[in-house]
């Protein structure tokens, strides 16, 4: 894998579509992240809080760290002081903990609500009603240390392009609906995080603002 070339190639392709790259560096060593950094990449995605915190300490301060994986409440404290976006808020209890740790760190933490769009049972995420319930002003006014910056979703892992497209379309539909009807200072709806190595082109066509790409940049992972 030539990480530098991959970063350059993706950046160019995505820029044409107005989409940004979150380079998913989970399980990969800091040397790989440095190589991507030297190619100009600044946004990196990790799925384990302690791994992210350890890498953050070793790497340059202008990296923007994105939490993309399922986040346990007792791990939020490790990343709250520096994380630049949490893509994977999938419960009100987690959002409340992010708010609490944001208050401790004296900052507002940008979050995306993860929506369940895939057919698989195993993928985390909220359904439409749960998303709308979380966006109630009564709920959010108790949580001044979080900003709802948008939505994230993962499509079914399948070769069926039509199904993947339909799932991304449904997420974009919900995104537009929220943007139209529920925008506020705290609900800014600037990011729609969808698309991975296998389906980023479809995601881009369906309106993704941020794709999360790992293996197509850094090579296959030994474990997740
Ligand atoms: C690992 C992961 C990715 C990247 O997957 P690739 O197929 O390697 O691009 C994207 N999003 C989430 C939530 C992940 O956990």
Q: Residue 148: which pLDDT band, with cuts at 50, 70 and 90? A: very high
Mutate to test the pocket of ligand 1, among 68, 70, 90, 122 (most ligand atoms within 8 A of CB): 68
pLDDT above 80 for 166: yes
Amino acid 224: pLDDT? 55
Q: How many A from CA of 12 to the centre of ligand 1?
A: 20
CA–CA dist 8, 23 (Å, integer)? 12
Q: What is the mean pLDDT of the chain?
A: 96
Q: Is the pLDDT of residue 124 over 90?
A: no
Q: What is the pLDDT of residue 40?
A: 98
User: How confident is the model at residue 120, as a pLDDT?
Assistant: 78
Please tell me whether the overall predicted TM-score, pTM, comes out greater than 0.85 for this model.
yes
Domain range 3-212, its CATH number among 3.30.70.270, 3.20.20.10, 3.40.50.11540, 3.30.1300.10: 3.20.20.10
- Centroid of ligand 1 to alpha carbon of 48 (angstroms): 12
pLDDT of residue 57: 98
What confidence tens digit (pLDDT) does each residue in 44-64 have? 999 999 999 999 999 999 999
**What atom of ligand 1 comes closest to residue 212's alpha carbon?**
10
CB of 66 closer than 8 Å to CB of 83: yes
Tell how far the Cα of 195 is from the centroid of ligand 1, in angstroms: 9
Question: What is the CA(162)–ligand 1 centre distance, in A?
Answer: 20
Measured distance CA(28)–CA(160) in Å, rounded: 29
- Report the separation in Å between the CA atom of 177 and the middle of ligand 1, taken as the mean of its atom positions: 26
Model confidence pLDDT, tens digit, residues 4-28:
999 999 999 999 999 999 999 999 9
Give the pLDDT confidence score for residue 119 in this predicted structure.
83
Atom of ligand 1 nearest to the CA of 218: 8
- For 186-205, what is each residue's pLDDT tens digit? 999 999 999 999 999 999 99
How confident is the model at residue 35, as a pLDDT?
A: 98
pLDDT tens digits for range 72-122: 999 999 999 999 999 999 999 999 999 999 999 999 999 999 999 998 776
Ligand 1 midpoint to CA 149 (Å): 20
Pick the atom of ligand 1 nearest to 213's CA: 9
Tally the residues of the chain: 224
List, chain by chain if needed, residues with CB within 6 Å of any ligand 1 atom. 24, 26, 47, 68-69, 154, 196-198, 212-216
Asked if residue 49 lies in contact with residue 69, where contact means CB atoms within 8 angstroms, the answer is: no
Position 169 pLDDT exceeds 80: yes
CB 91 within 8 A of CB 73: no
What pLDDT shows up at residue 222? 75
Smallest CA-to-CA distance from 145 within 190, 180, 107 is with: 107
Separation in Å, CA 164 to CA 13, 70, 127, 149, 157: 20, 21, 17, 23, 8
Contacts with 104 (C-beta within 8 Å, 6 or more apart), sequence order? 77, 80
- Tell me how crowded residue 40 is: count the other CB atoms within 10 A of its CB: 10
Dist CA 74 CA 202 (whole Å) = 35
CA distance 187 to 138: 13
pLDDT tens string 181-191 = 999 999 999 99
Q: 115: exposed, middle or buried (C-beta count within 10 Å: 0-12, 13-18, 19+)?
A: buried
Q: What is the C-alpha to C-alpha distance for residues 77 and 152, in angstroms, rounded to an integer?
A: 22
Ligand 1 atom with the shortest distance to the CA of 215 = 8
The C-alpha atoms of residue 200 and residue 22 are separated, in whole angstroms, by: 11
């Amino acid at each position: 894998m030539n990480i530098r070339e991959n970063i350059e190639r993706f950046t160019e392709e995505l820029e044409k579509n107005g989409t940004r790259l979150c380079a998913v560096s989970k399980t990969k060593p800091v040397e790989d992240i440095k190589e991507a950094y030297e190619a100009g990449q600044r946004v990196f995605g990790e799925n384990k809080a302690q791994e992210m915190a350890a890498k953050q300490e070793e790497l340059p301060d202008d990296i923007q760290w994105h939490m993309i994986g399922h986040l346990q409440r007792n791990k939020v404290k490790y990343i709250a002081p520096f994380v630049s976006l949490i893509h994977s808020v999938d419960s009100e209890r987690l959002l409340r903990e992010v708010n609490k740790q944001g208050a401790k760190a004296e900052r507002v933490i940008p979050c995306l609500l993860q929506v369940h769009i895939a057919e698989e049972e195993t993928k985390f995420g909220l359904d439409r009603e749960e998303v709308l319930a979380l966006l109630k002003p009564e709920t959010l006014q108790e949580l001044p240390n979080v900003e709802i910056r948008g939505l994230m979703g993962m499509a079914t892992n399948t070769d069926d392009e039509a199904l993947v497209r339909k799932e991304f379309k449904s997420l974009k539909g919900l995104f537009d609906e929220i943007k139209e009807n529920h925008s506020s200072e705290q609900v800014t709806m600037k990011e729609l995080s969808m698309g991975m190595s296998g389906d980023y082109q479809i995601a881009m066509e369906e309106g993704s603002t941020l794709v999360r790409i790992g293996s197509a940049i850094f090579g296959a992972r030994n474990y997740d």
